[in-house]
């Protein structure tokens, strides 16, 4: 699809809005529908869209494999780290009340970081699976 | 939705089947919105209709786009799936009515979530609050499952490539 001008222009127009929507879903998840998982998937979908239109090599250049692979692990570590932070501050594992002097704000903080962790892992895994699948054909040829 | 399923079952063109599968996911998402489960609908639309369709198309790129004729008539699978479907449909008869306030699920911990959420967590989206705070361990487990799935895909697909090189 590299030479299809219409697709390229439309993709260029759409991708910023997809990314913005992913961020909206991520950070507005406390108030409206959405959250880390959905935001991660939408984020990955934007990059996959880019890869479909502009080719896998360009997508790899944009988001390198090493970044994707470390994203997978970093997300889980962020999530676990929130739990450990709760432990260090004198609460139970994954207790958010202790993260801030005001327990309700602590809850907000904990939920925020946990959702960030989920989003990072999910988008990393989705992208990695896409890279792996899209790569297979080229290797087989 | 029933029409989509029938066409998928009849069709031999795998490309059409994948596109119809995406359509089915979108219809399912609409049903979920109608049932007020917006978070689930969003997931269904993005994962079911978006990412899986792309991945299936990627898989289709590796094989023939026309389904081969089955070797034998699929009567036994038909009987099995009909029997399982009948058992499941029979099981739904025992479920409480949709949005019945006296259903067991609404009388156990849900009242506590709904009444004390405001003082304890103060997040307007109850789904997010339950998911990330009250059920934090479960969500940690889910994230780990997603991570493990990705690691499994890497382990499976990467080793093949290494074997081929020498």
pLDDT at B19: 87
Percent of chain A with pLDDT over 70: 94
Whole domain around residue A102: which residue ranges?
5-140
Total domain count, chain A: 1
pLDDT at A140: 46
> With a cut of 0.85, is the ipTM above it?
no
Mean pLDDT of chain A: 83
| CA-based nearest distance B150→chain A, Å | 5
Instruction: Find the CB nearest A130 among B55, B123, B149.
Output: B55
| Sign of the alpha-carbon torsion through B12, B13, B17, B20 | negative
Q: Does A59 touch chain B if contact means CB atoms closer than 8 Å?
A: no
pLDDT at A17: 92
Asked whether the beta carbons of residue A118 and residue B143 sit closer than 8 angstroms, the reply is yes
CA A72 to chain centre: 9
Q: Does A81 touch chain B if contact means CB atoms closer than 8 Å?
A: no
Best probe of the A interface among B56, B122, B132, by most A CBs < 10 A, is: B132
Asked whether the beta carbons of residue A33 and residue B125 sit closer than 8 angstroms, the reply is yes
Q: Is the pLDDT of residue B164 over 70?
A: no
pLDDT band, residue A28 (cuts 50/70/90): confident
**Tokens representing residue A33 in the block:** 């529908």
In the predicted model, what is the mean pLDDT of residues B70-82? Answer: 82
Domain definitions of chain B by residue range: 1-65
pLDDT band, residue B88 (cuts 50/70/90): very high
pLDDT at A141: 41
Asked whether the beta carbons of residue B39 and residue A75 sit closer than 8 angstroms, the reply is no
Q: Does A50 touch chain B if contact means CB atoms closer than 8 Å?
A: no
For the segment A57-96, what is each residue's pLDDT rounded down to a tens digit? Answer: 888 888 888 888 888 889 888 888 888 888 888 777 777 7
| CA-based nearest distance A42→chain B, Å | 7
Rg (chain B; Cα; Å): 21
For the segment B92-150, what is each residue's pLDDT rounded down to a tens digit? Answer: 888 877 777 777 777 777 777 777 777 777 777 777 777 777 778 888 888 889 899 88
The Cα–Cα gap between A89 and A84 comes to: 9
**Tokens representing residue B159 in the block:** 């080793």
For the segment A37-63, what is each residue's pLDDT rounded down to a tens digit? Answer: 888 888 898 998 888 888 888 888 888
Cβ partners under 8 Å of residue A8, min gap 6: A1, A2, A53, A54
For the segment B31-50, what is each residue's pLDDT rounded down to a tens digit? Answer: 988 888 888 888 888 888 88
Size of interface A-B (CB pairs under 8 A): 138
């Amino acid at each position: 699809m590299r030479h299809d001008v219409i697709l390229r222009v439309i993709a260029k127009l759409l991708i910023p809005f997809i990314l913005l929507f992913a961020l909206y879903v991520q950070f507005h998840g406390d108030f409206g529908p959405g959250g880390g998982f959905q935001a991660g998937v939408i984020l990955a979908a934007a990059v996959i869209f880019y890869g479909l239109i502009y080719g896998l090599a360009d997508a790899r250049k944009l988001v390198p494999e090493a970044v994707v692979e470390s994203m997978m692990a970093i997300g889980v570590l962020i999530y676990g780290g929130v739990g450990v932070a709760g432990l260090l501050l004198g609460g139970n594992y994954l207790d958010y009340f202790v993260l801030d002097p005001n327990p309700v704000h602590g809850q907000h903080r904990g939920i925020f970081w946990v959702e960030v962790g989920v989003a990072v892992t999910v988008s990393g895994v989705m992208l990695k699976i896409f890279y792996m699948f899209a790569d297979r054909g080229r290797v087989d040829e | 939705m029933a029409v989509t399923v029938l066409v998928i079952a009849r069709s031999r063109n795998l490309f059409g089947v994948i596109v119809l599968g995406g359509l089915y996911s979108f219809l399912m998402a609409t049903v979920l919105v109608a049932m007020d489960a917006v978070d689930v609908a969003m997931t269904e639309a993005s994962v079911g209709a978006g990412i899986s369709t792309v991945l299936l198309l990627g898989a289709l790129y590796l094989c023939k786009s026309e389904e081969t004729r089955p070797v034998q008539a699929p009567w036994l699978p038909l009987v099995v799936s009909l029997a399982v479907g009948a058992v499941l449909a029979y099981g739904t008869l025992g479920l409480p009515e949709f949005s019945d306030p006296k259903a067991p699920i609404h009388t156990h911990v849900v009242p506590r979530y709904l009444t004390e959420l405001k003082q304890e967590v103060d997040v307007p989206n109850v789904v997010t609050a339950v998911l990330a705070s009250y059920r934090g361990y479960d969500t940690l487990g889910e994230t780990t499952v997603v991570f493990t799935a990705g690691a499994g895909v890497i382990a499976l697909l990467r080793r093949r490539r290494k074997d081929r090189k020498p």
